[in-house]
Amino acid sequence: MAVNYSNASDNSEKELSLQNINSEDDNIHTTWQGSNEEWWDWYVSLADNSSLPVNKEKLIHFPNIAFKSSLSIEDFKQQLAEPYPLSEQQIEQFKTESYIRLKNVLSPEAVYLLRQEAQYLLNRCRQSNPSQQFFNIEMMWLENEVMREFALSSRLARIAAELLEVSSVRLYHDNVLCKNPGCGRTPWHYDLHHFPIASTNICSHWLPLQAMPWEMGIIEFACGMEVYKIIEQVPCDKSGKTEDFWIARLLQSNNIKINRDPFELGEISFHHGFNVHGAAANRTTQPRMAITKIYFENGDRLINSSKITSGSWRKFIPNTKPSEMISNPYNFILYSV
Ligand SMILES: [Fe+2]
């Protein structure tokens, strides 16, 4: 029986930031006209928070922690270069469940060093727009030494290549995602729907920059490589919360297991481009900070037409024509067998 994906969600808390040409029709095959920061504000506004609203007057108090690290850049580089052995079972688990969470990938000192730098970079953004709910900084490796070493990490890129079972991976982009206290959920989605890369061999890592409970806004993984097939029938709603509402409903009615476990310090997740995920609201008084990086198989090509959901992707893949192989200096090879 055909489902009527009508507007059953709560759109009352509309804070949508669609502007200019992007707001003129329902077409998702238009190019994003704003900045990447505006894209994230728009994207978070598509999340349906009605089932568990965030009370900004009653946030859970978390103390301010001074994240200081004494790790030298040399020791940081060494840690980021050492292989992290994966078992066959772990690779199989990734193929079956579409994500994996790995503990002790980085030392607490390394995570705190990244936190220090992320904090420094984010402070500059806050000064220019203090009321913004969601901060995003990408391509940090271009201007920051610690972020460059992190982006270049063969330890992490090798994990990505082994999980994807490919011989070589390139960088799409890095970014810090900071969800401010009181910021709502990130809507359910799978990343291949967003990327302008003609490939299914893409994965991302998500590294929280402190030990993180669910209440701070952790990433939530639907378990199963085939789950995306259940939700791909839901039409994209670029000006409301209907798509997120229906995906949540389908996940529930199909009894899809969701992993919402807290993250330990130094734990990092990898998820395949087909993994269905979202992120919880930040119900605490502290900002939720995570670093992500997206890896794709060396040899992949640019797609023929992008979508509004791809955001400002031309920054990440410059000077590349549709269908052309992606090989420019911004998308360098991070690991090769
Ligand atoms: Fe995502």
| 69 Cα–ligand 1 center, Å | 29
291-328 CB burial, b ≥16 within 10 A, e <16: bbbbbbbbebbbbeebbbbbbbbeebbeebeeeeebee
Interacting residues of 88 by C-beta distance below 8 A, sequence separation 6+: none
| 70 Cα–ligand 1 center, Å | 32
Helices within the chain (DSSP H only) = 36-44, 73-81, 88-97, 108-128, 145-151, 154-164, 227-231, 242-253
Cα dihedral 108, 113, 118, 120, rounded to 10, equals: 140
Q: Taking each helix axis from N to C terminus, what angle separates 73-81 and 154-164, rounded to the nearest 10 degrees?
A: 20
| 86 Cα–ligand 1 center, Å | 23
Burial class, 57, CB count within 10 angstroms (exposed 0-12 / middle 13-18 / buried 19+): exposed
Q: Cα–chain-centroid distance for residue 88?
A: 26
- What is the token pair recorded at 102? 């790995």
| 284 Cα–ligand 1 center, Å | 22
Q: Cα–chain-centroid distance for residue 326?
A: 21
pLDDT of residue 68: 87
| 187 Cα–ligand 1 center, Å | 9
| 191 Cα–ligand 1 center, Å | 5
Residues with CB under 5 A from ligand 1 (ion): 191
From residue 310, alpha-carbon distances to 102, 175, 192, 286 in Å are 28, 15, 10, 29
Q: Per-residue pLDDT for the chain (337 aa), expressed as one digit of tens each?
A: 556 666 555 555 544 556 555 666 666 777 888 888 888 888 899 999 999 999 999 999 998 888 889 999 999 999 999 999 999 999 999 999 999 999 999 999 999 999 999 999 988 877 777 777 888 899 999 999 999 999 999 999 999 999 999 999 999 999 999 999 999 999 999 999 889 999 999 999 999 999 999 999 999 999 999 999 999 999 888 888 999 999 999 999 999 999 999 999 999 999 999 999 999 999 999 999 999 999 999 999 998 877 788 888 888 999 999 999 999 999 999 999 9
CA dihedral sign of residues 231, 274, 271, 120: negative
Cα angle 42, 47, 50 (rounded to 5 degrees) comes to: 135
| 313 Cα–ligand 1 center, Å | 14
For residues 269 and 180, the answer to whether their CB atoms sit within 8 Å is: no
pLDDT of residue 14: 47
Distance CA 329, CA 4 (A): 46
Q: What is the pTM of this model?
A: 0.93
| 170 Cα–ligand 1 center, Å | 18
| 158 Cα–ligand 1 center, Å | 21
Q: Output the 3-class SS for 311-324.
A: CCHHHCCCCCCCCC
pLDDT of residue 10: 53
